[in-house]
Amino acid sequence: MKKLTKADIKQEVFDLYDDYAHNKLQRREFIEKLGLYAVGGITVASLMSFLMPNYVDTMLVDKNDPNLDSGYITYNSPKGAGEMKALLSKPKNAEGKLPGIVVVHENRGLNPYIEDTARRAALEGFITIAPDALTPFGGYPGNDDEGRTMQRERDRNEMLEDFIAAFDYLKAHEGCTGKIGVVGFCFGGWISNMMAVKVPDLAAAVPFYGGQPTEDIDKINAPLMLQYAGLDERVNVGWPAYEEALKKYGKEYSAFMYPDVNHGFHNTTTPRYDKDAAELAWQRTMDFFKEKLS
């Protein structure tokens, strides 16, 4: 069987996967449409295998990294789902209090990629909290397909309250300075934008390819760094109106459009990952948090 590389995959296949990952295609319909691209020794099975997340070989930080204190906690979300599970991480032997970051997952729960991202941020000198919006259903189920199905059962505004409650948890944490930012991906990008609208004392927000708020943009206090994928037409269509409102109300923001990369380019576990864009976006994010949360 031909071993696939990213160069073998047509953009239309990535677009199909985006529709599937965002619940616009059922699995059977996705597989049927993939059949159109199963040519020249490429099978539907090999396409499916190539596109699905690989959580075994792509983690950047060992979950038992000796430089980290990282483990699961519970916190209360009174306006959301009640008791919530989250991964709390900070550098081991940190001296004094640390600024905090809420790390918000995609539309499939707290999967290994988001946990890895929270640990990466902690190693940069932050205390990070990565909640699992699937806590009411027992947590991330171990695969993204089930995770997406489960997350669709929750109201997104209730989930927003769960992440705001995580901000409140960090704010009260004895190891946190109280200067807290948020970074989120996909659904988490929308949450990050909405936390900027809803949380007056949020100190910084970095939405990665996140849906944009359409009202109360005047209430944003946090400086924003917005990360967009050049090929992500679905999300990018909302950016011009959002930027116009940010300018209208004099909000502090910077926006980066990474050309020729797909939605999800920061996610190391799928072939949409773009190493150069992901590393640049991450470095910008960490530099931004170090400036705004100091």
Same domain, 227 and 111: yes
Report the b/e string of 181-217 with b at 16+ CB within 10 A: bbbbbbbbbbbbbbbbbbbeebbbbbbbbbbbbeeeb
**Please, which pLDDT band fits residue 40 given cuts at 50, 70 and 90?**
confident
Whether residue 282 lies inside any domain: the answer is yes
Confidence of residue 1 (pLDDT cuts 50, 70, 90): low
pLDDT band at residue 68, thresholds of 50, 70 and 90? very high
The parent domain of residue 279 ranges over 68-292
Q: What is the Cβ-side half-sphere exposure of residue 47, based on CA atoms within 13 angstroms?
A: 24
The confidence score (pLDDT) of residue 88 equals 98
Higher pLDDT, 111 or 41: 111
Taking the CA atoms of the chain, what radius of gyration do you get in angstroms? 19
Total structural domains within the chain: 2
Q: Do 47 and 77 fall within a single domain?
A: no
Closest alpha carbon to 157 in 122, 197, 124: 197
Using the predicted structure, report yes or no on whether residue 102 has a pLDDT greater than 90. yes
Average pLDDT over residues 180-186: 98
Answer whether residue 40 is part of any domain: yes
Q: pLDDT of 114-169, one tens digit each?
A: 999 999 999 999 999 999 999 999 999 999 999 999 999 999 999 999 999 999 99
Give percent of the chain above pLDDT 90.
Answer: 95
Q: Are residues 188 and 256 in the same domain?
A: yes
pLDDT digits (tens, 9 = 90+) for 222-241: 999 999 999 999 999 999 99
Number of other residues whose CB lies within 10 A of the CB of residue 18:
21
